[in-house]
Structure formats: C-alpha cells, structure tokens
C-alpha cells in the first residue's frame, strides 16, 4: 500500500473480488439493492395509502348494512393508520416537536402538525367511541361515533385531496 494515493486505497476497499469469480464488485451491487429496497418501500407505502382509502370507503358503505364488516374494516383502518405513521416516523417526530412551539404553529409546517394531530385525535376518538358503543350494545344518546365518523370522513377527504398528486410517488426514508 505504500506509494498509493488515498483515492487508490479507498478504491481498493470499495472494489473487492466477487466470491470465486475474480471480477471486481463495486458499489453497483449495493446501490442496486438500495434501489430495489427503495422501490419496495415506495410500493408498500403506496399500498398502505390505497388500503387506508379502501378501508374508509368499505367501512362507510357497510356501516348501515353489516355491522361486523364495519367493525372489522374499521379496525384494519386503525392498524393501517399506525403503519402509515410508522412509515413516516421522521416526519411524525418532527411534527410532534413543532406542536410544542407555539410560534411555529402559525407557519405552514406548524399548521401541518396541527392537522396531523387533529387527524390522530379524531381517529382515536372514533376508535374509542366505537368500542364504547359496541360494549354498551347500543349507541349512546349523543352519537359520538357517528359524529366523529362524519368529522373523520371529511377530514380524510381533505387530507387525501391535498396530497392526491403525491400519493403515488411518496417515499419512505
């Protein structure tokens, strides 16, 4: 290694012989795998988006017809919402930190943090009121589940409409 420049030494580290073939293997195999992993994550994220939209529609359609399907699909929605938040954990953590700063709430990123927090609260309220009605075996006098359902449906419609152009090309980092 004496007499080699730093660039030549780092190149020898990056290109090691492939197992038994005597060919050099560089960063292309790693970058190819990273590209495949990135494409796979993007597809999974897109499928979660599609699942969220589908579960909302199916749950709303079956609510007056078959309550068991409404309950099962509603629970799938909550699980997918958790997966959606896990997929965007960096953004979620950043938005949570913005909620603590009052001055930041007036900026677009702060408003986004408020909107996401509102969606999370409405979703939790929907889940809790649904369980409450289910365990009571009848709806409460004030139809909290129905009210949160309408508010959540409208909020999700706005949330999806504003992000529609980005849904297909969103990335998990």
pLDDT at 3 over 70: no
Look at residue 36 and tell me if it is in a domain. no
Look at residue 34 and tell me if it is in a domain. no
Are the C-beta atoms of residues 155 and 52 closer than 8 Å to each other?
no
The count of domains in the chain is 1
| Rounded Cα–Cα distance for residues 106 and 104 (Å) | 5
What is the per-residue pLDDT across 34-74, written as a single tens digit (0 to 9) for each?
777 777 888 888 888 889 889 988 988 887 788 888 889 98
The DSSP secondary-structure symbol of 107 reads S
Range of 59's domain? 49-167
Any residues with CB less than 8 A from the CB of 123 and at least 6 apart, and which?
Answer: 78, 81, 152
Look at residue 89 and tell me if it is in a domain. yes
What is the per-residue pLDDT across 124-141, written as a single tens digit (0 to 9) for each?
988 898 888 888 877 777
């Amino acid at each position: 290694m004496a007499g080699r420049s730093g660039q030549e030494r780092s190149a020898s580290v990056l290109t090691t012989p492939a197992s038994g073939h005597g060919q050099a293997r560089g960063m292309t195999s790693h970058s190819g795998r990273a590209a495949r992993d990135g494409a796979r994550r993007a597809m999974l994220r897109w499928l979660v988006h599609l699942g969220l939209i589908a579960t909302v529609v199916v749950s709303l359609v079956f609510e007056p017809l078959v309550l068991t399907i409404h309950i099962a699909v509603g629970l799938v929605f909550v699980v997918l919402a958790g997966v959606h938040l896990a997929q965007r954990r960096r953004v979620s953590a950043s938005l949570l930190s913005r909620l603590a700063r009052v001055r930041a709430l007036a900026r677009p990123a702060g408003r986004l943090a408020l909107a996401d927090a509102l969606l999370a609260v409405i979703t939790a309220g929907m889940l809790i009121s649904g369980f409450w009605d289910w365990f009571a075996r009848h709806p409460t006098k004030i139809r909290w589940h129905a009210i949160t359902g309408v508010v959540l449906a409208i909020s999700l419609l706005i949330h999806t409409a504003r992000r529609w152009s980005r849904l297909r090309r969103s990335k998990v980092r």
